[in-house]
Amino acid sequence: MNNLPIQKKVQIVSLLVEGTSLRAATRITGVSRTTILKFLVDLGKVCQQFHDDTVKDVKSERVQCDEIWSFVGCKEKAKTNGAGGHGDVWTWVGLDADTKLVVSWLVGDRDADAACSFMYDLKDRLVDRVQLTTDGHKAYLVAVERAFEYDIDYAMLIKMYGSPEGESNNERRYSPATCTGAKKTRVMGEPNKKFISTSYVERQNLTMRMHMRRFTRLTNAFSKKVENHCYAIALHFVYYNFCKIHQSLSVTPAMQANLTKKPMTIEDIVKLVPEPIAGKRGLYKKREPKLA
């Protein structure tokens, strides 16, 4: 992998961040799937660190949060039936409504512990008091209170769903439920009703499904390991924040948030991975002798 030319690495990353699967990237580039996967691991690690080092002291006024579902290895229902795999995995996302910057993200379960970890991380990256909007997931209530200690204007947008009249279960099997209404609920502080919305972060959910093949529904391109799932997400968010020109902003979210002066390129992301030390080889596991 270290011997790959920079142009080939850029090509691999370009394919991955545009929703191409690992096997498709292998067919297009001629690089083995194992090599691409190792490169993704190295790249994901440095992208996680780059996000932690760069996305901080964010001057935001309005933040929207949501969770997006995916699975690793198998779905939760199949796991309970004995299938091998991790099961359901949720990605928590905190988005600045004005700059469209993804301020914080977390991969985990959809429980109170994950909600608290996510909110603590979000709070540490913000400078000023913000207006926060989430969906009606109850885990947010305790998490927001613990992380922000009431120093926040917080509201929930509770949506109600149902199936259209006369539509059978088979007809809507692969379609999401229809939103039949929404209720804006103040939780703490003085949130402005005009800005109680989760529209932008829900649009980011679509962006994730379009740019990461692992999130595509009804395919076999799902993640097989949680670690690789996290690395792919880390790569996506660095690309989204620092490289991708947002259509409504004409700049990247990081530029709009004054974190950078110009867009990063795919080559800049590739160069985040440090070059190996000349002449130094990695450690190899000693093979055990085979028993007769």
Q: What is the pTM of this model?
A: 0.87
Using CA atoms in the order 57, 59, 60, 66, what is the torsion angle rounded to 10 degrees? -20
Nearest-5° Cα angle at 95, 89 to 100: 130
Instruction: Compute the mean pLDDT over every residue in the chain, rounded to the nearest whole number.
Output: 88
What CA–CA distance (Å, rounded) separates 31 from 224?
Answer: 20
Q: How far is CA 6 from each of CA 2, 38, 109, 159, 242, rounded to the nearest angstrom?
A: 10, 15, 37, 47, 20
The tokens for 9 are 């690495």
Phi, psi for residue 157 in degrees, rounded to 5: -105, 105
Q: Over the Cα atoms of the chain, what is R_g?
A: 21
CA distance 74 to 84: 7
Dihedral angle over CA of 208, 212, 213, 218, nearest 10: -20
pLDDT, one tens digit per residue, over 163-184 is: 655 555 555 555 666 766 788 8
pLDDT of 239 over the 60 cut? yes
Residue 175's pLDDT is: 62
Q: Where are the alpha helices (DSSP H) in the chain?
A: 6-17, 22-29, 33-54, 76-80, 112-125, 139-148, 199-211, 226-242, 253-256, 266-270
- Which has the higher per-residue pLDDT, 107 or 282? 107
**Domain 6-270 indexed as CATH 3.40.50.450:** no
Give the HSE-up count for residue 109: Cα atoms under 13 Å, Cβ half-sphere.
7
Where do the structural domains in the chain lie, given as residue ranges?
6-270
Q: Name the pLDDT band for 222 (thresholds 50, 70, 90).
A: confident
pLDDT at 290: 45
pLDDT in tens, 89-143: 999 999 999 999 999 999 999 999 999 999 999 999 999 999 999 999 999 999 9
Task: Read off the pLDDT of residues 38-94 as tens digits, 9 standing for 90 and up.
Answer: 999 999 999 999 999 999 999 999 999 999 999 998 888 887 777 778 889 999 999
Q: CA 4 to CA 107: how far, in whole Å?
A: 30
